[in-house]
Amino acid sequence: MGRAETGPYNRAVIDVAIVGGGPAGLLTAARLAGAGLDVVLFEEHARIGEPTHCSGIVSLETAEFAKIPDDLVLAHLRSACLHGPRGAQARHEWAHAGEAILAIDRAGFDRSLAAQARAAGAATSAASRTRTERIRRMSDRLR
Ligand SMILES: Cc1cc2nc3c(=O)[nH]c(=O)nc-3n(C[C@H](O)[C@H](O)[C@H](O)COP(=O)(O)OP(=O)(O)OC[C@H]3O[C@@H](n4cnc5c(N)ncnc54)[C@H](O)[C@@H]3O)c2cc1C
């Protein structure tokens, strides 16, 4: 098993094993570890956030909910053009700055969530593709 990020997942007892180091898994890891649970998160890739399969366009609500740091905001976008599969297009402009959408550094966002999860006490293990058997093997350590 790889331990490119951190590795202390071999705790005697684990409350929660999370498979997948994307925003959902990382936010969950941070929240549960912050609530005092022993959490381990497995990510199949060697580095959390890479490769990036996301344009990094998010709403202000998402940025607020996920507490996206300002230094990860690449641009405030005021207009968008949506392209349909058959050539249809729709353009939208946001008149007020408070309605803009953001382009963020998505890999950096994932890395910052991983740092938050680790700071809350979660263990993250990269290069760890996880199959059902691994969870089954760990089951005697899962509370
Ligand atoms: C091309 C593209 C562009 C996008 N652009 C935007 C955008 O601009 N704005 C937006 O809001 N959303 C965008 N999205 C959607 C956005 O990327 C997803 O909604 C978001 O990443 C979902 O987060 P998640 O944590 O649920 O899953 P993911 O980010 O997919 O994370 C899941 C993680 O689990 C890992 N994993 C999977 N199976 C295993 C396993 N067995 N063992 C270990 N690890 C495993 C994966 O490697 C991955 O890192 C885009 C998606 C794509 C594909």
129 lines ligand 1 (CB under 6 A): yes
57 lines ligand 1 (CB under 6 A): yes
- Distance in Å from the first CA to the final CA of the chain: 22
Cα(111)–Cα(102) distance, integer angstroms? 18
What sign has the CA pseudo-torsion 12, 15, 20, 26?
negative
CATH number of the domain at 1-52+107-143, out of 3.30.1050.10, 1.10.10.10, 3.50.50.60, 1.20.1060.10?
3.50.50.60
The string of pLDDT tens digits covering residues 63-119 is 998 889 999 999 999 998 999 999 999 999 988 877 889 999 999 999 999 999 999
Boundaries of every domain in the chain: 1-52+107-143, 57-104
> Residue 53 C-alpha to ligand 1 middle, in angstroms?
7
Note the pTM of the prediction, 2 decimals. 0.87
